[in-house]
Structure 1
Amino acid sequence: MNYYIDVEPGVSLYVEDTGVGQPILFIHGYPLDHRMYEYQVNQLPKYGYRCIQLDLRGFGKSDSPWESYSLDRLADDVRCIIDTLGYKELTLAAFSMGGAVAVRYMGRHAGHGVSKLLLFAAAAPYITKQPGFPQGMPPEGLDALIALANRDRPQMLQEFAKLFFHNEPSPAYREWFDLMQLDQSPRAIIACGYTLRDENVMADLRTIKVPTYIFHGVYDKICPFELAIIMKETIPNSILLRFDNSGHAVFYEELELFNVCLLEALKH
């Protein structure tokens, strides 16, 4: 089942809804869309889970306004989705930038409707190095990517995709992955680049009270594994799942192990 949900005047977000049972709301990462979860959504309904895949504004089939790509606005969009669907106890599962959105949602909306949180290679608490925070990418690295997006977006996306994988996937998968990136709104690519560079969710991490599972690849070049350790130390009673042969694309590089761990996390 596919449908659109209005989150503000003139902005509707696309949702794909698959299966029946315990609901899981998936938030994709940057610069991808709901299709990144293909190899999870093809499996989870067999085990009694309802997979709700959201395209964030500016991504996939959702509307792409010129403004409003802050973490606050993206988190408010998630609140609109949850309220419209009427869920009281869902699992919120989110990757990379989507992880930052999910964490901001937990802080800004006090975890409304969420009973469990799954963070996959989350861009939290920061994605860039800051004074007193030596982890993450150098800010000038993101500045260079944003500048390149303004003059050669396809090249910028190719450069960014090189950071995703510790183990290069098949040529066919890589072509599909690159085409998915190219489908995204040029405006969203640039605007969310600034959001990733400038915002952080450190304060939001401290507010999380639901069971939280942190999936993170040891060889992540976008959100270094040190970020997972910080999340584990900051979120009370959270569980860190370490993937020893994965980079940023933890959802795919050790696919079978990831899906086994995902099912275990959902059961507990």
Structure 2
Amino acid sequence: MAAHQHGDRHRDRAGIARPGFIGTTDGVELFYRDWRDDGAPRNGKTIVFVASYSLPGDMWAYQMLPLTQQGFRCIAFDRRGHGRSSDPGGGYDYDTLADDLAAVIDALDLSDITLVGYSMGGAEAVRYLTRHGSARVARLALIASTLPMLAKTPDNPDGIDRAHVDAFQHDLLTDYPQWLAENARPFAGPEASEAMIGWIREMALRTSHQALFACNETVSRGDFHNELRDIDVPTLIVQGDRDVSNPLELTSQRTVRLIPDARLVVYEGAPHGVFLSDAARLTADLAAFASG
């Protein structure tokens, strides 16, 4: 794939910073997990997970553990400002976030990977491909993604009005814990236990407030209509039809029409948090897809 017009950054100072961390060219340390089951037969397949807005790589536990038991190598990292990664005070634009993903893939010298991005992470995965190319990526999975564009504009009249973004940012600046308390159940679905919802809220509350605000702006302004047409790897798209965060008709149903080699799987009755509500099904779909 030809690199997108954004261009590449120099990566001469990126690499393993210390055990469990990868350093970026601007001095950020990204915490990562690299899981393999020594007792499982190796199938030679590697899956790299990119997390949701506001959540660290821990969110993938219920996919990563069973997949490693099936012989996959599973890698997830914490976005800057999230989880155990550095809180650098900036760099929350899609170009820099895609370069952070490239730092992980390059430092671990990964190839033939299945790249899985959830929600905002799907946009980061796409920007990685259009910015750095697909030489190391064999397949792409987009789970409940924000793609191609959420914002309401003259060219996207069915998008989400700016007033909704402003309302969330007001809550973020005044009482984010209350916003989480009110929205965690619609996110996770009616079958999720209170303990599971508490786990999600706890992870979100550990995220840098600055990162939350800046990433929300990045998501609200993202427009990937042109980039999606440049994706040249097989793509699996998964989304629930009761996703209130990224409505199906605004996101995945449009994304599948833009990517040349894409397939959409809709989970009936599933909310935005399909990695929780439909964990076993998502794991099975990812295993089948990553097996090629």
Q: Take 1:44 and 1:256, find their aligned partners in 2: how far apart are those partners? A: 10
Counterpart pick for 1:14 among 31, 34, 38 = 31
RMSD, aligned CA? 1.7
Q: Take 1:191 and 1:157, find their aligned partners in 2: how far apart are those partners? A: 18
- What does residue 111 of structure 2 align with? 88
- What does residue 65 of structure 1 align with? 88
CA contact (8 A) 2:45 2:291 kept: no
The Cα offsets for residues 69-92 of structure 1, whole Å up to 9 and x where unpaired, read as: 001110011111111111221111
Say which is worse superposed, 99-108 or 135-144, in terms of deviation.
135-144
The Cα offsets for residues 237-258 of structure 1, whole Å up to 9 and x where unpaired, read as: 2111110021101112122222
Distance 1:181 1:85, change over 3 A: same
Give matches, 1:162-177, under 5 Å. Answer: 162-177=185-200
- What does residue 233 of structure 1 align with? 257
Q: What amino acid sits opposite 1:27 in the alignment?
A: V
Give matches, 1:100-249, under 5 Å. Answer: 100-226=123-249, 227-249=251-273
Structure 2 SS opposite 1:125: coil
Q: Give 1:55 shift.
A: 0.6
Q: Take 2:229 and 2:286, find their aligned partners in 1: how far apart are those partners? A: 23
Q: Give 1:162 shift.
A: 4.5
Q: Take 1:213 and 1:125, find their aligned partners in 2: how far apart are those partners? A: 15
The Cα offsets for residues 2-60 of structure 1, whole Å up to 9 and x where unpaired, read as: 61000123311010100164111100001111111111111001211100011110111
Counterpart pick for 2:288 among 257, 261, 264 = 264
CA contact (8 A) 2:45 2:290 kept: no
Whether 2:60 is the aligned partner of 1:43: answer: no
CA contact (8 A) 2:47 2:75 kept: yes
- State the identity %: 35
**Number of aligned residues:** 268
- What does residue 22 of structure 2 align with? 5
Say which is worse superposed, 25-34 or 81-90, in terms of deviation.
81-90
Q: Give 1:213 shift.
A: 0.1
When normalised by structure 2's length, the TM-score is 0.87
Q: Take 2:134 and 2:215, find their aligned partners in 1: how far apart are those partners? A: 23
Q: Give 1:155 shift.
A: 2.2
The Cα offsets for residues 132-181 of structure 1, whole Å up to 9 and x where unpaired, read as: 31344322111111122112222233344354134351111111111111
Structure 1 unaligned blocks of 5 or more: none
Say which is worse superposed, 32-41 or 129-138, in terms of deviation.
129-138
Q: Give 1:196 shift.
A: 1.0
Distance 1:9 1:133, change over 3 A: closer
CA contact (8 A) 1:127 1:222 kept: no
CA contact (8 A) 2:115 2:139 kept: yes
Q: Take 2:205 and 2:158, find their aligned partners in 1: how far apart are those partners? A: 29
Who wins on radius of gyration, i.e. which is larger?
Answer: 2
Distance 1:161 1:137, change over 3 A: farther
Q: Take 1:35 and 1:208, find their aligned partners in 2: how far apart are those partners? A: 27
Say which is worse superposed, 159-168 or 192-201, in terms of deviation.
159-168
Q: Take 2:248 and 2:61, find their aligned partners in 1: how far apart are those partners? A: 24
- What does residue 10 of structure 2 align with? none
